[in-house]
Structure formats: C-alpha cells, structure tokens
C-alpha cells in the first residue's frame, strides 16, 4: 500500500469511503450520513498495525522474560512504522507524516498490551487451578 502514488491511494480511500457512507446511510436512515475520508485513512493505519502487533507478539511469545513480550515486538512494530513513512517520502504524491507513525504505534502497542494482559490472566488462572 505504501508504494501506491498519492492518486492511487486517494482512489482507494474514496472507494472505501463510498461503501462506508452507504452503510452509514442505511444504518441511520439519513442521506447526509458521511464518514470523513481522513477518519477512514487513519482507521486503516490503526487496523493494519493492530494486526501487525498481534503477529509480532505471537512471534516473540516464547521468550521467558515478560518484558520481552512487550518491548521487543513493540520496538519492531514502531521501527517498521518509521521505515514505512520514510519509504513514503520517496513515493510521488505521498508524504512522511509523524502523525501516521503515532497512529501506527498506537495500533501496535494496543494489540500487544491486550494480548499480554490476556496471557497474564490465563497464566494466573492456570496457577490457581
């Protein structure tokens, strides 16, 4: 997705916006229901990196130190977000944005923290049995 030019990326967002706006109109019964394209684009960033966080957490899961289950996958995900934005700087019509890195980092961190908490709860439940 990062290699798409600005025009191609806008077309993708526009297409998704039309579908989501149709769903919003159907659900609300209002013809003026409209989800801003910016919100759709940022939600896509968050969702992609939330999924990446899950995959990274699972790949680092076998470490014995609990802090390694959070710090290392989080660092890997945030590093990837930074390199992805640097890559976009060189794609015509795209820009490098720190705000996107922040949203990406939030997606990675939230999924990693969620899975870490779930694993701690499960471990505590197994110890009490």
pTM of the model: 0.76
Number of H helices, E strands in the chain: 4, 0
Q: What is the pLDDT of residues 53-92, one digit of tens each?
A: 999 999 887 766 666 678 999 999 999 999 999 998 888 8
Residue-wise pLDDT for 100-115, tens only, equals 999 999 999 999 999 9
- 54 assigned to some structural domain: yes
Find how far residue 42's CA is from the centre of its chain. 9
Q: What count of Cα atoms within 13 Å lies in the side-chain half-sphere of residue 25? A: 9
Within-domain flag for 123: yes
Dihedral, CA atoms, 118, 67, 108, 90, nearest 10 degrees? -160
Q: What percent of the chain has pLDDT over 70?
A: 73
Specify if 69 maps to a domain: yes
Task: Examine residue 18 and state whether it is found in any structural domain, yes or no.
Answer: yes
Residue 1 lies inside a defined structural domain of this protein: no
* Domain of residue 61, residue span: 6-128
Contact between residue 4 and residue 15 where contact means Cβ atoms under 8 Å apart: no
């Amino acid at each position: 997705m990062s290699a798409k030019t600005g025009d191609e990326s806008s077309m993708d967002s526009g297409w998704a916006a039309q579908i989501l706006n149709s769903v919003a109109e159907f659900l609300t019964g209002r013809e003026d229901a409209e989800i801003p394209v910016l919100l759709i684009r940022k939600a896509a960033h968050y969702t992609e990196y939330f999924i990446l966080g899950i995959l990274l957490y699972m790949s680092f899961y076998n470490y014995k130190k609990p802090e390694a289950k959070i710090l290392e996958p989080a660092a890997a995900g945030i590093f990837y977000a930074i390199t992805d934005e640097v890559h976009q700087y060189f794609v015509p019509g795209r820009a490098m944005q720190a705000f996107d890195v922040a949203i990406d980092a939030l997606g990675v961190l939230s999924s990693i923290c969620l899975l870490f908490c779930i694993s701690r709860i499960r471990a505590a439940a197994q110890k009490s049995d």
